[in-house]
Every structure is written in structure tokens, then in C-alpha cells.
């Protein structure tokens, strides 16, 4: 397609990359796998000549040592090359209370902002199952974030100097592939949040202060995906 691309590593994928036989004590294999994968992508990306975003996927609280190891690799790379090894990382603390989720995100973002590394955070729940994380029995209400909650996140993260962040809000999106009609996307939730936050921070109507992330698009209606993109 000769277009920019995004390559991301999950924790399980990272461990696989290092080799299943390697001991993953304290996530050593997952850290080494993600780092080696990043170098591989960087080397091959030069051959394609398109911009590549290097990202890591869902990192729950129990995986934070993996995240720490990746940040150390980013900082080492930054010292040598003036940019982090990865473009950005995702922290998914959506299973924790929102206050704790935000507090941990702010703490990490302060560190990441110093090396121009972006943070993706998640609130609410992405339904379905991916890489061993199963939310198939989630309370349907939790699949939809509220504008007030998204604003709470935005307000805290926007305060971090030089920080760059994206928000994976829940609008009914589900991991996995489903028959059409089984996933009910509500992009209006994202639209309403943009409007609510723009008003709160005094930006003109129609502006979109939040950079949203969309997880789990497979099997969704093309019309809904296009509408979500507009938000
Ligand atoms: Zn996801």
C-alpha cells in the first residue's frame, strides 16, 4: 500500500519472539523479545521506506516489570540516537479503579515525556478475548466509557509537560472476529466525549482535543468504522 504502518508487540508475542524455551522469570524473555523485535522492524523498515510506528500492546498491572524493561531499553536508545527505541507503549490498567489507573499513567508519562515516547492508556473494557486476556463475560455497561471519565483522564495527562498520549476508550469495541451484528459499536460515545471535553477546556465547537485509539475493529461494520475514525 506504500503507506505508513504500525507494528506492535504484545507481551505474549514478545516472549514468543525470544523463543519459548527461554526462562521468562521477571519477564526477561518478553523484554528481550520485544527489544530484538524492535531492532528487526527498524532494520526491515528501511527497506520499505515507509514510516513505521513501533508500539507495544495491552500491559496490565501484573505486566509492569515488562513495561519497565522496555522503558529502560528506550532510554538507552534515546541516549545514543535522540529518540526512543519504541514510538509508544500501551498501559492497560482498565481493570484497576480509574483513580489508580490515572495515577500510574501520569507517573509513567512523566518519565516517557523526557524521551519523546508516547503513552496509550485504556479505560473501560474492550470486550472479547486477546492474548489470554478474556473479557467475554464483561458487564455490557463497562463496554461504554462515559464523557466525564474520559475528561478525567484527559485533564490529568494533558498536564504532563511535553507528554504525548492517546486514549483507548470503550465504545462497544470487542477483540476478535465476530459475525456481523454481534458487535454494537457506538462511535457517538467518542463524538460526545470530544464535544464535552472541548467545552470544558474552552476549545471551539467541532474541535477534537482527544486522540482516540480503536481496538478490536475486525468484523465491525465498515460504516461504523468510518464513523469512529471521524471521531
Ligand atoms: Zn487491544
**Residues lying with their CB under 5 A of ligand 1, a single-atom ion:** 215
Q: Which residues pair with 119 in a beta bridge?
A: 89, 165
Q: Position of cell 529502560?
A: 72
pLDDT, one tens digit per residue, over 95-126 is: 999 999 999 999 999 999 999 999 999 998 77
pLDDT of amino acid 50: 93
Ligand 1 centroid–CA 126 distance in Å is: 7
Ligand 1 centroid–CA 122 distance in Å is: 9
What topology is assigned to 5-230 in CATH? TIM Barrel (3.20.20)
Average pLDDT over residues 154-172: 95
Q: Which residues pair with 89 in a beta bridge?
A: 56, 119
Average pLDDT over residues 181-199: 90
Residues taking part in catalysis? 57
Helix (H) or strand (E) holding 23: none
pLDDT of amino acid 52: 96
Amino acid at each position: 500500500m506504500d503507506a505508513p504502518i504500525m507494528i506492535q508487540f504484545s507481551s505474549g508475542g514478545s516472549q514468543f519472539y525470544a523463543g519459548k524455551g527461554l526462562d521468562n522469570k521477571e519477564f526477561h524473555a518478553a523484554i528481550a523479545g520485544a527489544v530484538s523485535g524492535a531492532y528487526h522492524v527498524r532494520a526491515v523498515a528501511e527497506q520499505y521506506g515507509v514510516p513505521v510506528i513501533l508500539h507495544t500492546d495491552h500491559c496490565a498491572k501484573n505486566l509492569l516489570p515488562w513495561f519497565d524493561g522496555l522503558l529502560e531499553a528506550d532510554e538507552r536508545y534515546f541516549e545514543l540516537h535522540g529518540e526512543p527505541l519504541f514510538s509508544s507503549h500501551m498501559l492497560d490498567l482498565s481493570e484497576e479503579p480509574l483513580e489508580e489507573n490515572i495515577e500510574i499513567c501520569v507517573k509513567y508519562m512523566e518519565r516517557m515525556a523526557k524521551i519523546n515516547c508516547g503513552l496509550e492508556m485504556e479505560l473501560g473494557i474492550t470486550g472479547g478475548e486477546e492474548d489470554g486476556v478474556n473479557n467475554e463475560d464483561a458487564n455490557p455497561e463497562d463496554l461504554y466509557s462515559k464523557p466525564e471519565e474520559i475528561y478525567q483522564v484527559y485533564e490529568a495527562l494533558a498536564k504532563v509537560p511535553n507528554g504525548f498520549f492517546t486514549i483507548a476508550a470503550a465504545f462497544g469495541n470487542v477483540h476478535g472476529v465476530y459475525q456481523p451484528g454481534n458487535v454494537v459499536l457506538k462511535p457517538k460515545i467518542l463524538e460526545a466525549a470530544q464535544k464535552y471535553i472541548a467545552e470544558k477546556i474552552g476549545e471551539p465547537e467541532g474541535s477534537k482535543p482527544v486522540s482516540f485509539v480503536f481496538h478490536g475493529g475486525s468484523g465491525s461494520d465498515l460504516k461504523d468504522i468510518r464513523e469512529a475514525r471521524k471521531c
